[in-house]
Amino acid sequence: MNSVRFSFDGPEALAAVTGRDGGVSTGDLASLNLSFEVGDDTARVVANRKVAGDSLGFDFRELVVPRQVHGVRIKVVGEQDRGRGADSAELGVAACDALVTSTPNIPVAVLVADCAPVVLYDPTQPAIGIVHVGWRGAIGRIAQKTVETMAREFGSRPRDIKAGIGPCLQPLSLEVSMNEAMQAEGEFHQQPAVLYDAGDKPHLDIPFMVKQQLLDAGVWLKNIEDCRMDTLDARRFFSHRGQSGQAGRCMGVAMLRSPQGT
């Protein structure tokens, strides 16, 4: 299974994004589709999640997965949430797009196919988060709000937090309407969140917007990693736009690892 791992992925934390290879799904969903909500066979998705867990070092049966709504709601999860959404979308954490936890060995995940998965890790006051960032979430500053949630709930200092921005539509691939561009400009003002010279319509720079809001939250620039990988061609990663809405889903996943591995 191919995956992207951030530099802070290791013995203390899992911080990774899956690719689309190495699973058992077929057709447009070939092969490592990790979503129950794109028309795939449930047994295949479960098998794929086991592949991902075995490869990355987590128990897929303990996954906590949100029911994403392209909003800005963040949910703090703990022991009582272990396994929510692991084998059924309906049992996932309702109506949120980011999860944070300070409980070891609970893998928290988001599902993506062009939106940006963002991992946040505080090694000092151990806590971790995973964020699903599409254009609505970027304009709504969900990454910044997730950092603020970690500070409030766990005592995290933003300067200690390490952040990883996973594969997503890069600015030359993310064409948006003029209304969407104006919303972005209204939030980010004169900052270059919108490109007007990249085609007939404006284009949005989601990685830039994420970086800017992380900086605004107090995360240090040296602690922000951007993999700068574009999903549009749908070869290594699923792409909703690149596959005309017929795509599977990759998974951004994060977890605190306890020293004992228990």
Say which CATH class 3-256 falls into: alpha beta
For residue 94, the one-letter residue type is A
Which long-range contacts (C-beta less than 8 Å, at least 24 apart) are formed by 208-211?
208/171, 209/138, 209/139, 209/184, 210/116, 210/118, 210/133, 210/138, 210/143, 210/165, 211/165
CA distance 235 to 241: 13
**How much is the pLDDT for 108?**
99
Where the chain has pLDDT below 50, the residues are 261-262
**How much is the pLDDT for 6?**
98
**How much is the pLDDT for 262?**
46
* Residues 53/107, Cβ–Cβ less than 8 Å: yes
pTM: 0.97
Residue 25's alpha-carbon distances to 44, 160, 246, in angstroms, are 6, 39, 13
**How much is the pLDDT for 106?**
98
